[in-house]
Chains A and B, each alone.
Chain A
Amino acid sequence: MMAQPGRLTRHDVAHVAALARLHLSDEELDLFTGQLGSILDHAADVASLDLTGVAPTAHAMAVTNVLRPDLARPGLDRNEVLAEAPSVEDHRFRVPRILGEAP
């Protein structure tokens, strides 16, 4: 018997939202805590099964070692790709700063 995870809390939802790079308002936190909790309640039938010895399937029609000839081919047009970017500088994607100020 697999150990049953405890009831999803508001704190759990806030933590998961941060991992997923989502900011939730207080109202959204309340709403999602309830809704995700009820979905996970439904998933308890899966979580509580004893499946010792059953192999997991990640892919129903798995194919392995897919190779192609090692030949140079044209890629996507750089200007066409960069034209869709929100911000570009010197043919590169431009983003806000990544590191904070040095302490």
Chain B
Amino acid sequence: MSAGGPSPAAELAGAVRGGERRAVEVLEEHLASIDAGEERIHAFNLVTRDEARAQAVAVDRRVAAGGDPGPLAGVPVALKDNLCTRGVPTTCSSRILDGWRPPYDATVVTRLRDAGAVMIGKTNMDEFAMGSSTESSAFGTTRNPHDTTRVPGGSSGGSAAAVAAGFAPMALGSDTGGSIRQPAALCGVVGMKPTYGTVSRYGLVAFASSLDQIGPFAHSVADAALLFDVIGGHDPADSTSLNRPTPRVLSVLDEGIEGLTVGVLSEFLDGAHPEVTARTRQAAEACTAAGARVEEVSVPEVRLGLSAYYLIAPAEASSNLARYDGVRFGLRVDAEDTVAMNTATRSAGFGAEVKRRIMLGTYALSAGYMDAYYNQALRVRTMIIEGFATAYRRFDVLLGPTTPTTAFTIGEKVDDPMSMYLSDVCTIPTNLAGHPAISVPFGTDGGGLPIGVQLLAPALGESVLFRAAAVLEAAAPAPPPTGRWS
């Protein structure tokens, strides 16, 4: 069923559906990997052993009864801890939600279960997805499986590390400004951010609603395609979900890119580490070798992306996070009246990065500053969309680095928020435009740390995006030694 390159998760599902492997065995192997490595990595906030075992047993029963449990039969999948799971704690790595058990499942969770997947645990993240390293988690930092003195990236660092360490062959994350692609690049796995509206956000705890999108992590492009096909598609429960056909990508993976045009985005190369730039150029050569026409292209508007993002995302966050008031769920710190209780709860429950962004957003929306900051940023967003539109009249896909550097050391950027924010400079413009993008592992730096290259496509351009990603995967230098699947 899979096209092109390796697809360890699809192979597992095939073996379970065919009765050659039992889902419970597959699960126990992964739980053993977690037992062996989790203390070192801390990818999870919660390993849901009992729920996973019950799901695996149900999958095996369906196979034994002659049924088809679905395309992800028995595949363990790790979930970022901002995806609601009914009755299972969902914390967003924040003290304000510590112990909260959602009364419903996110749509992606329902779709995974319907596809036969086994949910193995809830992964660590930056608090409320605000960060690029998992260091803003209230429950400790996740460590990069390639070098445990370094960050896995973020905010979906736990999901990226879980896949890289072999704890699960697949994971879901969310990407608001690069939170899937950046950790995927730093951990040496595939990570993809879909077109805004193609994957339901129902049950994704909101950070910045006009930018958030759920997407897949996997060891290979084919597995990421399989997972995207399972979770994508219209959902009436999310009013921003696009009610039109979602591109199906698994079936087009081996179509290649002959005759397509690839633009190498010069703004993304500026400021990138020379080793990252060299790998990106090598990826461009691979596109040429595959028969694409490759040219450098400038989209100068993307230079404004970071500033616009750090006004828009905090503005939306300050509104979304107003719901954490100690009234209906989560933490409450008692005080003599309700306003004092709200304030005491939020002051105790939120960490420093979340407070910074709430205040930044409140300021950008406040009387006297809204025109200068928030409304200006929305106009810049228009310029970025138009800049991309101009480029996509000439190019089918764009290529650049995913991140300016490889994984940085734990603690290196925590005291300087602006330097942390800069690690998302190449991923943010995609979110502002609502477009899809994917990070594909493409060799390492001199120290053996993974480098990711990023492909970008216009809205609903997932098919060409995955085709180009499969070409890069096939041409990539030997993958770094990650976990059990390498």
Do residues A60 and B310 form an inter-chain contact, with CB atoms below 8 A? no
Q: List 19 A-B contacts (CB under 8 A).
A: A2-B372, A13-B359, A16-B362, A16-B366, A22-B355, A23-B343, A36-B363, A51-B379, A56-B375, A56-B379, A58-B210, A60-B196, A60-B434, A61-B195, A61-B459, A84-B329, A86-B326, A87-B332, A96-B337
Q: Is the CB of B418 within 8 A of A42?
A: yes
A11 CB-CB contact with B under 8 Å: no
Interface check A102, CB cutoff 8 A: no
Let me know if B378 and A60 touch, CB within 8 A.
Answer: no
Q: Which of A74-90 contact B (CB under 8 A)?
A: 76-77, 80-81, 84-87
Q: A12 to nearest B CB, angstroms?
A: 7
**When A77-B103, A97-B337 are in contact, do A42 and B382 touch as well, CB less than 8 Å?**
no
Please give, as numbers and ranges, the residues of chain A lying within 8 Å of B346 by CB-CB distance.
20-22
> With an 8 A cutoff between CB atoms, is A26 at the interface?
no
Q: Which of A34-90 contact B (CB under 8 A)?
A: 35-36, 38-40, 42-47, 49, 51, 54-61, 63, 66, 68, 76-77, 80-81, 84-87
Residues in A neighbouring B308, C-beta threshold 8 A? 46
Q: How far is the CA of A21 from the CA of B340 in the complex (A)?
A: 8
Complex: A3 Cα to B330 Cα, angstroms? 42
> Are A23 and B344 neighbours in the complex by a CB distance under 8 Å?
yes
A5 within 8 Å of B by Cβ? yes
Return chain B residues, CB-CB under 8 Å to A54: 379, 382-383
| 3 interchain residue pairs of minimum CB distance | A60-B434, A56-B378, A86-B332
The total of Cβ contacts below 8 Å across the A-B interface reads 180
Give the residue of B304, B332, B340, B433 whose beta carbon is less than 8 angstroms from that of A45.
Answer: B304
**B-side binding surface: helix, strand, loop or mixed?**
helix
Nearest chain A residue, comparing its CB with the CB of B418: A38
* Interchain nearest-CB distance for B193 vs A (Å): 13
B contact residues vs A (CB 8 Å cutoff): 100-101, 103-104, 195-197, 210, 236, 239-240, 242-243, 304, 306-308, 310-311, 318, 325-332, 334-344, 346-347, 350, 352, 355-356, 358-360, 362-363, 366, 368-369, 371-373, 375-383, 385, 417-418, 421, 432-435, 459
Contact status B379-A35, CB under 8 Å: no
Contacts of A60 in B (CB 8 A): 196, 210, 381, 385, 432-435, 459
In angstroms, Cα B328 to Cα A76, docked, is 14
List chain A residues, Cβ under 8 A from B372: 2-5, 47
Q: Find out whether the CB atom of B366 lies under 8 angstroms from the CB atom of A19.
A: yes
| A20/B459 in contact, CB under 8 A | no
Number of interface residues of A (CB under 8 A): 55
A56 touches B382 (CB 8 A): yes
* Of the residues B343, B376, B377, B379, contact of A21 by C-beta under 8 Å: B343
Known: A54-B383, A61-B197, A93-B327. A76 touches B371 (CB 8 A): no
Closest to A77 in B: B103
20 additional A-B residue pairs with CB within 8 Å, beyond A23-B343, A59-B240, A76-B103 = A2-B376, A5-B369, A8-B363, A12-B363, A19-B366, A20-B362, A23-B347, A32-B355, A32-B356, A36-B359, A36-B363, A43-B307, A43-B377, A51-B379, A51-B383, A56-B375, A59-B434, A60-B434, A61-B434, A68-B236
The reply to whether B318 and A84 contact each other, CB–CB distance below 8 Å, is: no
Query: A46 to B376, Cβ gap below 8 A?
Result: yes
- Determine which residue in A60, A77, A97 has the highest number of CB atoms from chain B within 10 A of its CB, and name it: A60
Query: Is A47 a contact of B360 with CB atoms below 8 Å?
Result: no
Judge whether A103 is part of the interface by a CB distance below 8 angstroms.
Answer: no
Chain B residues near A76 (CB, 8 Å)? 103-104
> Do B103 and A84 touch across chains, with their CB atoms under 8 A apart?
yes
In Å, the complex CA distance between A38 and B347 comes to 23
Contacts of A61 in B (CB 8 A): 195-197, 240, 242, 434, 459
